[in-house]
Amino acid sequence: MKQRNDKIDFSSVLASAVHDMKNSLSLMIQTIEELESTLREHGVGIKEAASIHYEAARLNTGLIQLLSLYRTQLDNLPLNLDEHYIDDFIDDVIAYNQNHINTRGIEVSIQQEDDLHWYFDQDLVNVLVSDVIVNGIRYGKQKLHIDVAEQDNFLRIVIEDDGPGYPDNMLAISQIEISQLNIGTGRTGLGLFFARLIAEAHVNGDNKGSIHLSNGGSLGGGVFTLLLP
């Protein structure tokens, strides 16, 4: 009998499985959102449903990150660049997280230039910005501020919260390479690497996107800055 030498491409199988799981999780999130609306009408179980929604959204973001990292290994992180009005984009991100904002009692303030529009991948940047907002809601106390403007030929999106700020290890992780991440320590900083991946995939001439983390700002907590060329 002739021995078969072909091997299963496990990475492709895993990517396909992750894609299927992401689709199933998206349907689950939609169901949770409908359940939240029903529970809010009856005034019961709101916090519990919001907690489930938050964790499901985190899982969905993680799966999207895994798929994007896999495609990056293939040198194929797909970008769907199109022109978007920033006020509509920010409104959509806030609306997606509105239930969690309401449950946590967070006051969200937005400052942005009128009629500002930019070219970027809406889906990927939506995941990035939404993830930062969710973390700001989780670790903030009462306030979250979003500032959007054009600065030196870049779109600048700044998200601030009034929480304890980013720990020193997260500030350091935001600038190191993926090969330096220690996956055995639990909080690996994969989300920050993914944010950098999305930002740096946006290139216009000699300009490339970037992210920046700091503490302080107008609310005294964490400050996340996204720059897109």
- Biggest alpha carbon–alpha carbon distance for the chain: 73
pTM flag (> 0.85): no
What share of residues in the chain are helix, strand, coil (percent, to 5)? 55, 25, 25
Contacts of 104 (CB under 8 A, 6+ apart): 50, 137, 138, 140
**Element housing 135 (H / E):** helix 122-139
Pick from 7-16, 51-60, 128-137 the range whose average pLDDT is largest.
Answer: 128-137
pLDDT per residue as tens digits for the range 66-75: 666 666 655 5
What CATH number does the domain located at 81-228 have?
3.30.565.10
pLDDT score at 183:
46
Mean pLDDT of 8-20: 59
pLDDT, tens digit, 9 for 90 and up, residues 177-190: 655 655 444 445 66
Contacts of 174 (CB under 8 A, 6+ apart): 189, 192, 196, 211, 212, 213
Where exactly are the structural domains of the chain? Answer: 10-73, 81-228
Average pLDDT over residues 44-65: 73
